[in-house]
Structure 1
Amino acid sequence: MAQVSINNDYSEWGLSTDAGERARLLQSPCVDTAPKSEWEASPGGPDRGTTSTLGAIFIVVNACLGAGLLNFPAAFSTAGGVAAGIVLQMGMLVFIISGLVILAYCSQASNERTYQEVVWAVCGKLTGVLCEVAIAVYTFGTCIAFLIIIGDQQDKIIAVMAKEPEGASGPWYTDRKFTISLTAFLFILPLSIPREIGFQKYASFLSVVGTWYVTAIVIIKYIWPDKEMTPGNILTRPASWMAVFNAMPTICFGFQCHVSSVPVFNSMQQPEVKTWGGVVTAAMVIALAVYMGTGICGFLTFGAAVDPDVLLSYPSEDMAVAVARAFIILSVLTSYPILHFCGRAVVEGLWLRYQGVSVEEDVGRERRRRVLQTLVWFLLTLLLALFIPDIGKVISVIGGLAACFIFVFPGLCLIQAKLSEMEEVKPASWWVLVSYGVLLVTLGAFIFGQTTANAIFVDLLA
């Protein structure tokens, strides 16, 4: 491997290497990691991680699968049918896997252990700050989507319990805004305030069980449909090439596990790029099977009439689907605090870096600042969730940011890492990799611009 010289000077903003919670940011729920100061040894040294290859596959699959699954049938409808949806996902898979491998390579080259630290070290201060801001906005938007999902599922469950026809107005305590707010204040807020999150392993288990159960239900309901379910128009081709790109945000949101992949790579017993390539390939094939199963069967069951949240398309009285709704609610209730923790950590790191102080120097005000950050974050996400009608509108916005994590930042890291190699004569492989990095950045920027503009002018301002 050519010698690499990568800028990782944190002193530009007077930053200590442990600025707030940033050193623990976005650790995988199943990964125990040591502080960076204990990891100055090489990846193959005595301080290597404890995660096996099989364990790493499970963690990456868990990080990939999530609430975005509910929007995949609608994405197939948007893309123009089953064939267009399959081709789009298969094409995206190549870039998704390559981005994960690039991040592992750059993590080794820079000796950094989280996504934003890798971007900061490899690409410099400006790109690093943009990456951290993007993570904060992405986690904020995902928290809004989680609250909307809670409201969607509660509406159906309450309708069954109250024995009222769908769409009928019930008592004030069954109002959607009241039930979302009550659930959020009783469960989500208390779980979001603590400085550390010790229940991540339970959230991981619930998320995995809920996701697989939803997929199984969607497939079973397609094979043995209920009599009252009649599909809408089954599209066979996209209305235009732009319609295909409109499905990109859901796919990017669903497959975006890149931010949490770097800690997983460094937690492996053998953190080698070649081994990691096999891990992420296997994990993405599993995720692809789950997403395709849900997307294809959900779309063929309801056609163009499918809701942005596929579970809303099923009758409220269906008990098997009601169990799926309960699983999703439990998963989201425990996933919101984790996403909030990640966003809060970025905000905390940016604030301490701006102030030029370390966490040790500012311990006295940490609790007060943490509570204030949590309350502001929680109230803003709750307020927006109460007035945004469905998760499709949120995913259309944050899906563009997910494209940045999949394409733009890995592409920039690859370009900068190759430019930093001290070789007088550049081999053909060097030019190929730099060109591929440029392709990633260009493609990611296009997807981000197109999907974000479409979300703003079509979905939000419509």
Structure 2
Amino acid sequence: MGLTPLFQVSLVFLISGLVILGYASSVSRQKTYQDVVREVCGQAVGQLCEVCFCFNLFMISVAFLVVVQDQLEKLCVSLYETVTGSSEGEMPYHWYTDQRFALFIMCLIIILPLSIPKEIGIQKYTRYSALTCVHKYIRLSVNVCATSLSWASMFSVVPTICFGFQCHEACIAIYSSMENQKLSHWVLISVLSMFFCLLIYTLTGVYGFMTFGRAVASDILMSYPGNDVVMIISRLLFGFSIITIYPIILLLGSVVLNLMLRVQRRRRGIITHLFESRCRVVLTVIWISFTLLIAMFVPDMGQVISVIGGISAFFIFIFPGMNKITLMCVAVLTVWGVITIVVGAFIFGQSTTIAVMEIFQNI
């Protein structure tokens, strides 16, 4: 319960950021996040937005692969126990049973072919984790004593909140595709979407914590046994959703990188279709290769979340705050924009510091 005020305050910033971005899109008549920031805040801030945009998507791709790798580990254990009848502790180590090798094969034969095409169809997936955590808590009936949280521990979850609720990068594209672009309609959509996200994440987090307490893993599905049929289905569905989302994230990042390359190429000569195709393929291979290498050697999902949470502060707080100051003539809203920027700068500094400290501790 100690986190409730923090969630409430966070939702105020999250929703206000979505609203101002929709308003900025309607005023500037731009259809992407970076174009809106460039049009409203200037060329320099727009370039900073593009860099942050690509880096944030890159780290999200790393996080997705880390999650997939965790699920592959549990699935390999489940398969071994089913085939041999032995326990997890008796499983011998072979290079071909390592989850990192399995992740490499998955990237090679599934993710890469899905990411190469220029256009990717809309991927539909299901959120199964929340229902699974509630179901397992009821069946296990584990009682964990509630513990009080310090202010320091409360602020340490802010990067996770930013990671879980970040949708601001795509909100302008969503707003631009709406038939009814009235601001009141956009406010209603923003409030409802944040409410449903809060409901799903709260169910997952609360019941996971009530089941395992402070021993719960950063990737909550890793805390559950690998030989449970319900959890196996959950891991398969969850892994499928990540695999289908990854190409979309890669496409968004490669579009921005391609635009940067096209600007440089245009200064030197004519841009051909062959050049664009080669750039797309090369960028896709490089993106997957580097995210795969980082994901293989990241020991904890929490480190990736800290980095993403810091960068997300730009899209959730800092850039929307700049838009408020630039577009709003009302003094109260200008003050709110300044507060939003200050809070975003604090979250970025805190999250980045936590990530750097954790990296040095593991060296």
TM beyond 0.5: yes
Aligned CA RMSD, in angstroms, stands at 1.9
Give the 3 Å change call, closer, same or farther, for CA 220–381 of structure 1 in structure 2: same
Question: C-alpha offsets along residues 101-123 of structure 1, whole Å, 9 cap, x if unaligned?
Answer: 00011111101111111111000
Q: 1:138 aligns to what? A: 56
Aligned partner of 2:309 in structure 1 is 399
**Paired position in structure 1 for 2:299:** 389
**Equivalent position of 1:180 in the other structure:** 103
Q: In structure 1, which of residues 86, 90, 104 is the aligned counterpart of residue 4 of structure 2?
A: 86
Provide the secondary structure at the position in 2 that maps to 1:162: helix
Match of 2:47 in 1: 129
Name the counterpart of 1:215: 130
Q: What's the CA shift for 1:364?
A: 3.1
- Unaligned runs of at least 5 residues, structure 1: 1-82, 422-429
Aligned residue-pair number: 357
**Deviation readout 1:205-229 (Å, 9 max, x if unpaired):** 21xx1x2x21101011122217xxx
2:19 to 85, 93, 101: 101
1:368-396 per-residue CA deviation (whole Å, 9 max, x = no partner) reads 11111111111111111111123221111
Matches within 5 A, 1:270-285: 270-285=180-195
- TM-score for both structures, normalised by structure 1: 0.74
| Contact 1:397–1:455 (Cα < 8 Å) also in 2 | yes
CA apart distance, 1:234: 4.3
Q: Does 1:158 align with 2:58?
A: no
Q: Secondary structure at the match of 2:88?
A: coil
In the alignment, which residue of structure 1 is the partner of 2:197? 287
Which residue of 313, 327, 340 maps to 1:440? 340
Task: Please give the residue correspondences for 1:328-339 in structure 2 after superposition, counting only pairs within 5 Å.
Answer: 328-339=238-249
Equivalences for 1:17-32 in 2 at 5 Å?
A: none
Q: Residue 340 of structure 1 corresponds to which residue in structure 2?
A: 250
- CA offset digits 1:158-213 (Å, max 9, x no partner): 11111143354333321122111111111011111111112x2xx2x21xx1x2x2
Give the counterpart letter for 2:164 in structure 1: G
Q: 1:354 to 1:436 in 2, by over 3 A?
A: farther
Is the Cα–Cα contact under 8 Å of residues 216 and 223 in structure 2 kept in the other structure? Answer: yes
Match of 1:454 in 2: 354
Q: Which one of 132, 135, 148 corresponds to residue 237 of structure 1?
A: 148
Shift of 1:88: 1.7
Please give the per-residue CA displacement for 1:427-457, whole angstroms capped at 9, x wherever unaligned.
Answer: xxx1101100001000001001111111111
User: In 1, Cα distance between the equivalents of 2:263 and 2:68?
Assistant: 35
TM-score, normalising length: structure 2:
0.94
Give the C-alpha shift of residue 414 in structure 1: 1.1
* Distance across 2 between alignment mates of 1:460 and 1:141: 19
Deviation at 1:288, TM superposition (A): 0.8
Question: Gaps spanning 5+ residues in structure 2: where?
Answer: none
Cα pair distance change 1:156/1:131, threshold 3 Å: same
Aligned to 1:194: 117
Identity rate, percent: 39
Equivalent-residue separation in structure 1 for 2:196 and 2:269 (angstroms): 40
Report which of the two has the higher share of helix: 2
Counterpart check, 1:112 vs 2:12: no
2: distance between equivalents of 1:355 and 1:454? Answer: 39
